[in-house]
Chain A
Amino acid sequence: MNLGPHADFIVAAYAVTLFVVTALIAWVLLDYSAQRRILGDLEERGVTRRSQRKG
């Protein structure tokens, strides 16, 4: 594949897109893992939501 005289611009466009998409995915995954951990800690300490309480 020959990207011609403007290869730098094409590679930069793909690199920026890859970087932004990867950063978004990493943020989502790290946030999910943090929320699960905090939720797990609270449940371990016996804290429940109002809707889960009996009586």
Chain B
Amino acid sequence: MAVIDLANPTRFLRIVDRILPWLIAATVALFAVGLYRALNAPDDYQQGATVRIMFLHVPAAWLGMFGWALMSVAALGTLVWRHPLADVSGKAVAPIGAAFTFICLVTGSLWGRPTWGTYWVWDARLTSMLVLLLLYLGVLALYWTAEEPGRGARAAAILSLVGAVNLPIIKFSVDWWNTLHQPASVFRISGSTIDPSLLTPLLIMALAFTLLFVSLHLAVMRNEILRRRIRSMQLMQAQEVHA
């Protein structure tokens, strides 16, 4: 099947109905293994048991950024190819990305208090992540408040592309500025600095959260397609009444 076939909403709904149960089953299985490994992981030699917050915080941070990257690609589809499914995808990912960014900020704050002695500092990494959450809320506001859905979609797509500038700032903030937040420790050219006993559960949890993210994205896209179908049916019905 060609990728372009997925761009047909009816075919897309059929595919989602078929793969969603398998995705959910894989997500549940991975969370079962990941949580077991995470909660039974050894304490960190410096941070003690609080290192267990990493298994939530790091995947949430990755997915908050991944969500915005996905929204930027969808924005190109909306603005350049004007494909309705691209807008459906962008609109669907916004609340999920916002939720994961929120989880990242809250768990980071709860990890920061016992580790750094403070819930919050205005350093580059934390601030750029907060900016990401505010950008997500901006996109959601554009979708929810636009009187005409097409205009809201275009405005949200533009904000998505502009906001993508924040992604490299988040990623490299710990290298460009002197921050309280630690530098990259998983994906590094010289290899991860995390011990395998903590890295393995982290990667399993990251995969579980990613599958959860994808499952939620597909489910929200399905809801949005149904919502638009209903809207077009109601408009047609109203036109017939007035004709």
Residues of A at under 8 Å CB distance from B?
A: 1-7, 9-10, 12-14, 16-17, 20-21, 23-25, 27-28, 31-32, 35-36, 38-39, 42, 47-50
Contact = CB atoms under 8 A, between A and B. Distances in A.
Given A1-B40, A12-B110, A39-B230, A31 B52 contact: no
Interface string B58-102: 001000000000000000000000000000000000011001001
A17 B230 CA distance: 33
Contact of A35 (B40, B53, B106, B230): B230
Contacts of B233: 39, 42, 47-49
Contacts of A39: 226, 229-230, 233
B180 interface: no
A25 B114 contact: no
Nearest to B218: A28
**Tier of interface size on chain B:** 35 or more
B202 interface: no
A36 B237 CA distance: 18
Contacts of B53: 9-10, 13
25 contacts: A5-B114, A7-B49, A9-B111, A10-B49, A10-B52, A10-B110, A13-B56, A13-B57, A16-B103, A17-B103, A20-B102, A20-B103, A23-B99, A28-B216, A28-B219, A28-B220, A28-B223, A32-B222, A35-B226, A39-B230, A42-B233, A42-B234, A47-B234, A47-B236, A49-B232
A31 B110 CA distance: 31
B106 A6 contact: no
B49 A2 contact: yes
A20 B99 contact: yes
Contacts of B110: 9-10, 12-13, 16
B147 to A, nearest CB: 21
Contacts of B212: 21
B230 A13 contact: no
A26 B56 CA distance: 20
A52 to B, nearest CB: 10
Given A24-B99, A38-B230, A10 B219 contact: no
Contacts of B57: 13
A23 B106 CA distance: 16
B191 interface: no
B39 interface: yes
Contacts of A21: 99, 103, 212
Given A4-B50, A16-B103, 10 more contacts: A3-B52, A10-B49, A13-B110, A13-B111, A14-B56, A16-B107, A24-B95, A25-B216, A42-B230, A47-B236
Contacts of A1: 39-40
